[in-house]
Amino acid sequence: MPVYSSLLSADEIDLFRAAQTGNIGLAKATVAKETNVNVCPTETCQNLSMLEFSVVYHTPLLIAVKYNHFFLAAYLIFVAKANFNLYTDTAMSVIGLAKLLVKGPEEAFNLLQRIFKEKRALVTLRFLQEAFCHALEIKNFLCVEFLTQFISPDDRLIKERAFYEAICRQELPVIRWLVKVLKTSVNNFVDDSLQTPLTTAIANHNPQVAKWLIVHGAEIEKPTDYVFSAPVAAIYYKNLYALQLLISLDIKSVGPYTASRISLFHDACNMWSFKCLSWLLLNNNLPSNIALIKFPATQDSPALLPLKKLELIEKDPSFETIPDEEKEAFHEARNLVCRATLWGKSGGVRSRRRLAILLHRTTTEMTTISLEPNP
């Protein structure tokens, strides 16, 4: 493991200088003095201003590879026993030696091959994961093919992370390869986010990827109590195309597929997904008496009819911050709910008291209409 230090010795500074310049003689001289080859400075400190680059959270090995001094890097790994599994922090992200080797020149790939052939027992799962996923990302398929032989059928973590990243990047050819060659499941959870590949594609608005996953067996139902079903994910992420695709597959609009356990209409209201809400109403993908199915009581509010729920949404101060197209969809949906309530099968909805509530906005805009509720 690296030794993090805020103070470097003269020999350690010489080793960093050797790593930057590729001076193998200087590196051997400092290693002969039993200098720690895994030293990792934690801050800009004594005498580091002498160097032409920042070595904060970098080891000599990482610097050598960064500057393409692969002969020196090989010396540090195979002779000086430097830790090649090290991952160091930077201001932006985590940089691994594996990533540098994957994206480097041919000499870098040669060094990577030698590490796996001669030091396989010391290669950590994370090193393999970083190398494999980054090789896929930059489409270094020569490196991908080489690393694939070291991925066992049980290495779900590597395959699922690569799958998740490919979905986020919308790289359908890579997704196909991972499923067909590495037999990656299209239904496993990915990247510690408790999302499935399908809900990840929906969240990233990847219609082609979502459709491909569905065609190849991705399940749309709710996998657990903690994960959205695909239809609810489409509503939550305001992905109308995905919702239309899923509805076309004749999924149920009520039951375990929904977050509210009532209907997708109620989910769309709760999640302020008004384009999806309007589309659901216009396409009759809801129970015929949807305007009378209440929102259950909560700790903060009593049970509410849909129209009342929409009135409260419109009065919410946050409503003014949503995009204009969402507002238009909201108003369209509200008008549809008004009509559904007026011409519903229940006799009570025809009362003048109900009409006064339903047409509240109309009466404010058209002062010639005056409706008083029954006493």
At 243-273, the pLDDT tens digits run 888 888 766 555 566 777 788 888 899 999 9
Local confidence band at 89 (pLDDT 50, 70, 90 cut-offs): low
Is residue 277 within 8 A of residue 333, CB to CB? The reply is yes
What is the spatial distance between Cα 214 and Cα 212, in angstroms, rounded to a whole number? Answer: 5
Q: Which residue has the higher pLDDT, 57 or 72?
A: 72
Span of 32-36, 58-62, 156-160, 174-178 with lowest mean pLDDT: 156-160
Beta bridge partners of 304: 295
Calculate the average pLDDT of the chain.
78
* This prediction's pTM: 0.69
Which residue from 285, 306, 284 is spatially nearest to 295, judged by alpha carbons? 306
* pLDDT for res 33: 92
What angle, rounded to 10 degrees, do the helices at 274-282 and 240-247 form? 30
Q: At 122, is the pLDDT very low, low, confident or very high (cuts 50, 70, 90)? A: confident
Percent of the chain at pLDDT > 70 equals 77
The answer to whether residues 72 and 27 touch, using CB atoms and an 8 Å cutoff, is yes
For 192, counting Cβ atoms within 10 Å of its Cβ (0-12 exposed, 13-18 middle, 19+ buried), the class is exposed
What is 1-150's CATH superfamily?
Ankyrin repeat-containing domain (1.25.40.20)
- Exposed / middle / buried, residue 136 (Cβ in 10 Å: 0-12, 13-18, 19+): buried
